[in-house]
Copies of this chain bind each other. A is one copy, B any other.
Amino acid sequence: MRTIALTEETRKNVLENLLKRSPSSYGKFEDAVAEIVENVRNNKDAAVFEYTKRFDGADINAGNIKVTKEEIDEAYEQVDPSLLDVIRKALVNIREYHEKQKKYSWFDSKPDGTMLGQKVMPLAKVGVYVPGGKAVYPSSVLMNVVPAKVAGVEKIIMTTPCGKDGKVYPSTLVAAMEAGADEIYKVGGAQAIAALAFGTESIPKVDKIVGPGNIYVALAKKAVYGHVSIDSIAGPSEILVLADETANPHYVAADLLSQAEHDEMASAILVTTSRDFADKVSEEIEGYLKTLSRSEIIRKSLDNYGYALVAETMDEAIETANEIASEHLEIVTANPFEVMMKIRNAGAIFIGEYSSEPLGDYFAGPNHVLPTNGTAKFFSPLGVDDFIKRSSIIYYSREALKDIHKDIIQFAEAEKLTAHANSIRVRFEEEDANE
């Protein structure tokens, strides 16, 4: 891993290089996606079945698009019972954490008869997209379904592509059932997103669509935004480890590689106050690379976006972490809690030597769907907030409105909105005339 001394200039260069990973040159797929979305919007099921035949090679129709009780039973038979055990243990933690994020309606009344409040309600229907392909991530199913379930969403509709044989991965089905998905449909790609956004004869229209996907899925989500809500579009994974010389280079190197293995666009960055420590971590990385199964991906990812950055002071190191605003941030220093207080931007913060990042991916409870690519400066982890909405509540008594009605009339007239002023005025016409 390249080691660089942090200066104003090197920091700027690193930040610029990282931002190259932003999704771009999407243009060339946009027309194809727009056509799929329009076709599904207009021709519904017929279009969905046709695309599924063309792209997934599967014969899907109104009779077999929905995953059946029998298929689910079959999936349970095929999944390793000890994996099911682990899924259930993880679910306890994930639910417990998200329960703490719940919001409640409130109101506040005053002696003059006014009442103001906020009514919090879950979205009615949510679509969860689960990718097919080679990588099967049941953990991602849990992380997308549980916050919707905890929020109280009535209906969680999952869609995922099936194989040529019309089957869905057993671990995907089992994770979906354990997490609480209500219905599962065998459709993937842009056609699945369009079906969820507009509804078809078989697939219900939803209010929001979440979940990761390839570029077609991402563009389709962008295209239907406004008709429905969507989650933010995830970029490649990232880890930043903030460490001083007290950290264990053997552990830190392993943690950096755990994110670098995701794909060639992933980024693994060490920011440390010790050049000696940076060198040790680089050595450890070389050692691991000889044994890990995904070492080819890791090597490319480290060459592209891997750095060991050496800072003069811990404050400079912290400032760099805040500027990069990493998806995952590990703090492995002598006083990690003190450092955490100074962190302003990160998706998830892992504190101390035994809070290794994969603990958060699978087990601890907080969501693993996190803001990437510097967006932790303004975005948050997926959570219960993403599946609720608020309505303001306003109640004024006659007396309360009377007290302030002239103020409202004046404000409305200053904005030249005379019908606004009129709607208040008509309620007190007689009294005001008699004044």
Binding site for B on A (CB under 8 A): 22-23, 80, 82-83, 86-87, 89-90, 97, 100-101, 106, 108, 114-116, 118-119, 121, 123-124, 135-139, 171, 207-208, 226, 228-229, 233, 250-251, 254-255, 257-258, 260-262, 288, 292-294, 298, 337, 340, 343-367, 370, 375-381, 383, 385, 389-398, 400-401, 404, 407-408, 410-412, 414-424, 426-427
Contact = CB atoms under 8 A, between A and B. Distances in A.
B89 A407 contact: yes
Given A97-B116, A254-B426, A394 B344 contact: no
Given A363-B408, A366-B392, A393-B340, A118 B101 contact: yes
B385 A381 contact: no
B415 A137 contact: yes
Nearest to A262: B417
Contact of A261 (B353, B360, B417): B417
Nearest to A413: B83
* Copies of chain A in the complex: 2
Contacts of A393: 340, 348-349, 351, 366
Given A100-B108, A250-B426, A293-B416, 13 more contacts: A87-B411, A136-B415, A138-B415, A229-B379, A251-B427, A288-B419, A292-B418, A293-B418, A349-B391, A349-B393, A355-B395, A359-B408, A381-B392
28 contacts: A23-B226, A83-B410, A89-B404, A101-B118, A119-B343, A124-B344, A135-B416, A136-B415, A139-B415, A208-B378, A228-B378, A251-B426, A254-B426, A262-B417, A288-B419, A348-B391, A348-B394, A349-B394, A352-B397, A353-B398, A355-B394, A355-B396, A358-B412, A358-B423, A358-B424, A360-B392, A363-B407, A363-B408
A110 B367 CA distance: 19
Contacts of A251: 423, 426-427
Given A86-B411, A119-B349, A423-B356, A363 B294 contact: no
